Structure 1
């Protein structure tokens, strides 16, 4: 059987109840593999082409501007005479503020971030659980320490910002502490799956190299911005624009890896293992080709929104679970919660599995994935799992370590630029470490999609894990049912009490 048909022949236990994962194509056993493969191939059109064009044009424009700004102060104070467009200030010894003054600092940031990412990948098979636990329990402390350092350096705004971040992180961890055992179980199985796929590790290393190449140009331009004779307000605005561009680019690279890994994991689960005789040859090439061609526009589109919406959803869920009986605050948080849940329906990370398998557009894939979860009840298990938040904590911790190391070095060279260099270096570190972590997140999302579509896929791959997931799902559904009954009883009691109070005496 060809690899195309393997991507198409997704088994299902819900054929009589709803459309298949590919959006209505008949994948029942009565259809021949060739017919199913042809149907899937016909659907693999170029999706979300507008966002693909926007991303490519954005890369060209940003790359040109970065090169221009970096070259402007490379070896000369104002090589391209750009200072005439800025708010010029007279600087004594202006040759000191050149691109190469700050570029080595960003080189160090890239090196530290890449070293942390490679270390995480190397320790993936033996120490991944310990590293994830350290990420969860150390991030609050690290944020608090940075807050103290900011106050000591008289950066009061940033000191308050990091203190608030430490407080929010502590509140979130406390609100989900009971979910950590199940989360670690899922992450352990995802790590096991990734470790058995050497091709996935190769993709991760290559993506790190590609991202480092882009960061060379990015840091060259940003170093030129910091050296520019411009008021700090103007420099900060330019840094914000370039940071948003870097974040989007990093998210696109991460999600491209996500789609490739999802395709690989999908095949492993369908065939019952990497070494199964039925596994098609060169599945990595097939996944890679789809990810960087027909599905790339959908990846660019989803990368703009998914990260922000996921983070907001985690925070709102954590706050919502700890509000108590404050009805006014609960009403406001519930409004935000339902708003974010609506957005999640159209922007969620599970869409990338659908994109990898079926090549649909991003919104279509996200909607199908969410409806699949809700129709099978798996959404209760997905909402209980915190693996995405745990991996994000690891990326943030790696970014903070990178930013701190670079910021300390900057303090001894040019202490008035510590915040600019430190903040942008933190973003660089987060993206590089995130590239290492995305392979695990891809495995987690693929496990949930496959379990929702056909639980026997997970049972065939790991029987014990299947029963652990089934038991957890049963407990979550019982908990939701009991909570719903409790809410209904309380609402009826309140209604009866109000009727008794309003009834006039006879």
Structure 2
């Protein structure tokens, strides 16, 4: 539902007044005079680039080396022979279970890798040809799929997971209901982003290359995970190891996804700045430069941002959905608003739009996130960004892909090793989400670049697609008017309250 039904609003809403709305509204449809975007300076000079957030790139690299060694040891210890490396002595005293071999479970992870890859690229291909239909499927199928898996878990006497998936289905249902009126605009933005991506086949080739790199890492990761599932230690020990491995896979997958994000964002920004990929002013070897910067000088910023951005974004979406449904329960509203303001503060320093600034200007992550958010707020475009839920729609597609992947491997495990089904299903679901997410990030990168370009200079969007520019401008005008009306309403309400307090009864 429209967020106008919420009785409170964010700090950005609190600070907006009629004058700021008018100023921001006048900026729609014309260039921001405060800033001139010079395309010839973007990705043009190596001396302008410095290594950023080097500490985090070092941490990530050390983490890969240590974890890669541990994965190889865990997998080899059960490969074709029980306790090949004689490390079971370290688990003495832990509850023993039936022993297995790595090769018993490794094929299940191979299936997950294949299914996740096929789903990711199939989803992307269908977005190119049937964008509107596929995005509607992403929104509505997730609730149904979560509910079905919940029923299957209860039927298999897995009550904890049944409750977990049931709660997930309920949260997803309420979130969709809360943003149903925003979906038409979000679908429009996603369709234009898909159009942009499909006009740049070179970025698709880069995404394919990174998918191959991710699959190579997953081959090693799944080898170690299969060794953990086959180990003789108790369930608690295996679960703790799998949680550690899953956190590592999530971070590694996020780093690869955001590396693609930076590369694609840089290319889309250049195309919009120069008026097309065939423009004579387009810098030579721009894709190669963007790739080189992403894996060298900006890699530390990518590693740093990948730790926090996804979790904060998801939390922000959920809290926004809850706030729009609270009504007049002031106690609950106070608690949710407290959390909301904390998350909004974090968003200033951890947001996906930072990757565009990293790609274009080579800043560190925190400065990039802060500058992107300040750019949105100073131009009023933050109202449009807050209204758009295209990122949530892409996340729904990623979750569906992960659930289908986990289901395929989990069903196979059910028939062969029933006591290992949940372990295999949950870890392969994460593999599927990472693989599908890598395909989805190509579209999300185009969305973020479109918003940054619109905030920098709306005429860039007008030159690319005049009809889309008019639709964005009209929606921004509506959102700014809506915020202005809400600000006046709250000010009036506060004045009436103060008058009641001063008038004696």
TM over 0.5: yes
Distance 1:147 1:461 in 2: 46
Contact 2:42 2:360 in 1 (8 A): no
Query: Does 2:426 align with 1:441?
Result: no
Partner residue of 1:453 out of 437, 451, 456: 456
Question: Structure 1 37/112 Cα, relative in aligned 2: closer, same or farther at 3 Å?
Answer: closer
Query: Does 2:387 align with 1:377?
Result: no
Partner residue of 1:151 out of 151, 154, 168: 154
User: What residue in structure 2 maps to residue 64 of structure 1?
Assistant: 69
User: What residue in structure 2 maps to residue 220 of structure 1?
Assistant: 223
- For normalisation by structure 2, the TM-score amounts to 0.91
Show CA shifts across 1:266-293 (max 9, x none).
Answer: 1110111223333233221111011011
Distance 1:69 1:105 in 2: 17
Contact 1:72 1:224 in 2 (8 A): yes
Question: Structure 1 150/40 Cα, relative in aligned 2: closer, same or farther at 3 Å?
Answer: same
- For normalisation by structure 1, the TM-score amounts to 0.91
User: What residue in structure 2 maps to residue 24 of structure 1?
Assistant: none
User: What residue in structure 2 maps to residue 405 of structure 1?
Assistant: 408
CA RMSD of aligned residues (A): 1.7
Contact 1:402 1:429 in 2 (8 A): yes
Question: Structure 1 217/353 Cα, relative in aligned 2: closer, same or farther at 3 Å?
Answer: same
Distance 1:63 1:239 in 2: 14
Show CA shifts across 1:86-132 (max 9, x none).
Answer: 1455566x4xx100010000000111101101212332320232111
Show CA shifts across 1:410-448 (max 9, x none).
Answer: 000100001000000000000000011001000000000
User: What residue in structure 1 maps to residue 19 of structure 2?
Assistant: none
User: What residue in structure 2 maps to residue 483 of structure 1?
Assistant: 486
User: What residue in structure 2 maps to residue 432 of structure 1?
Assistant: 435
Please identify, of 36-45 and 381-390, the stretch whose mean Cα deviation from structure 2 is larger: 36-45
Q: Which has the higher contact order (CA 8 A, sep 6+)?
A: 2
| Structure 1: gaps (5+ residues) | 1-11, 21-26
Shift of 1:28: 7.5
Shift of 1:13: 3.8
Structure 1 residues 56-455: aligned runs within 5 Å: 56-86=61-91, 87=93, 94=99, 97-455=100-458
Shift of 1:207: 1.3
Distance 1:381 1:47 in 2: 30
Distance 2:311 2:466 in 1: 35
> Secondary structure in 2 aligned to 1:75?
coil
Question: Structure 1 38/229 Cα, relative in aligned 2: closer, same or farther at 3 Å?
Answer: closer
Distance 1:295 1:28 in 2: 21
Shift of 1:494: 1.7
Show CA shifts across 1:160-200 (max 9, x none).
Answer: 11100000000100000000000000000000000100011
